[in-house]
Structure 1
């Protein structure tokens, strides 16, 4: 799970025993249970909101509004297996209602501007266990470039890349979170990955031109 430093999180698949106990405690009215919920899931909500919204003010709004909705509605959730998907849906909806996009709107690329090769592949985060300090620096730079490019994707593309490739949800889970079919999720994800690759290629070209 990610912390407030914004590093990618990789939540476990499906509900854990702790998830089940936590949901049962919340539904039973345990006054300390929601604090444990925030401690467990808060960093994930914060990091996703920051990536999706692009700056801290909106991420804080998303964090607060999502927790309010969770607090008022979580007792109604009867199936522990649906907890994480339900939570992601709440957070994703708050992100989509956020009033602002990336900090630099002039760099946001529209859907019509994203012609790219039809050989998109998922972003594979760099291996942070690399032995040499030089490799670790390179990996951090690569991650920073990818995160910048993701922030400049159109919102519909940004959210699906974050859910699938950063947070590790399955295609079925992504479809449930976004309220679309699995087929539509696959198509949108493919286009989003192509768009991301296109942005990275443009960044490569700009860096090469600047170095010339």
Structure 2
């Protein structure tokens, strides 16, 4: 291994030991390898968030790239506040990127709904009647059919249900991520559950 390669590896090892906040500071100072480390650390989390809303790999990759691009150009905003972890701050950006994409897709009628097959509807009927006491909204949000059902909701309803029931976020955390008031989050969640029940009643 050459001297240059030795120094490069040593730099990478030192960078990997830094905290997220320190990496943000170094990125703002012009250290590109610091942001690469942030990307490597948090890419999987952003991918998981994106996969809650989208199934196609291309869409997920676009959300990842857009989220980190927005984060990069807003690092000074994080630096000036630092009232939350970088991971939480980045997650907020990722959720909002997903929300923007949902709204964009909602304006395209050909992509607004996903049809359920006869077999899928039958599957739903069996689960609901076999487990009548179960929390239907939460159960459905965790199933493979969730995307088809949630696609019938507005972007706002879909966002709040996924954050609340799939991600397990609190009202306060959703409020911070969306910048909605906690009262609005509660109302939105109530309306989203009612909308999901209406979807179910039409299908079943």
Scaled by the length of structure 2, the TM-score of the pair is: 0.63
Look up the match of 1:177. Answer: 177
Per the alignment, residue 26 of structure 1 pairs with: 24
Higher RCO structure, 1 or 2 (CA under 8 Å, sep 6+): 1
**8 A contact 2:163–2:169 mirrored in 1:** yes
Seen in structure 2, the aligned counterparts of structure 1 residues 54 and 153 have a Cα distance that, compared at 3 Å, is: farther
d(CA) in 1 for partners of 2:113, 2:83: 43
Whole-Å separation in 1 of the counterparts to 2:157 and 2:164: 11
- Note if 1:165 corresponds to 2:170: no
Q: Could you tell me which runs of 5 or more consecutive residues in structure 1 were left unpaired when the two chains were aligned.
A: 1-17, 109-120, 127-141, 206-212
1:59 CA displacement: 3.1
Richer in helix (by share): 2
Aligned to 1:10: none
Q: Hey, what's the Cα distance between the residues in 2 that align with 1:85 and 1:52?
A: 18
1:194, 1:38 → 2: CA distance? 38
Q: Equivalents in 2 of 1:54, 1:199: separation in Å?
A: 21
**2:43 alignment partner in structure 1:** 42
Residue in structure 2 matching 1:105, options 95, 102, 112: 112
- Residue aligning to 1:96: 99
Q: State the distance in 2 between where 1:183 and 1:49 align.
A: 26
Q: Is the 8 A contact 1:52 1:95 kept in 2?
A: yes
Deviations 1:37-71 (A, max 9, x none): 22332223223224335644443322211111112
Moved more, 159-168 or 146-155: 146-155
Asked if structure 2 preserves the Cα contact closer than 8 Å seen for 1:146 and 1:200, the reply is: no
CA deviation after TM superposition for structure 1 residue 171, in Å = 0.6
Instruction: Decide whether aligned partners of structure 1 residues 160 and 23 sit closer, same or farther in structure 2, where only a CA change above 3 A counts.
Output: same
RMSD (CA atoms): 3.3
Give the CA deviation at 1:24: 1.6
Deviations 1:99-145 (A, max 9, x none): 3249742459xxxxxxxxxxxx584459xxxxxxxxxxxxxxx7112
Written as runs of structure 1 = structure 2, the 5 A alignment for 1:82-161 is: 82-98=85-101, 99-101=104-106, 104-107=111-114, 123-125=137-139, 143-161=143-161
Partners of 2:180 and 2:190 in 1: how far apart?
15
Larger radius of gyration: 2
Partner of 1:188: 188
Q: Distance in 2 between matches of 1:42 and 1:202?
A: 38
Structure 1 CA distance, aligned partners of 2:175 and 2:83?
19
Change (3 A) 1:144 1:63: same
Quote the offset at 1:192 in angstroms.
0.9
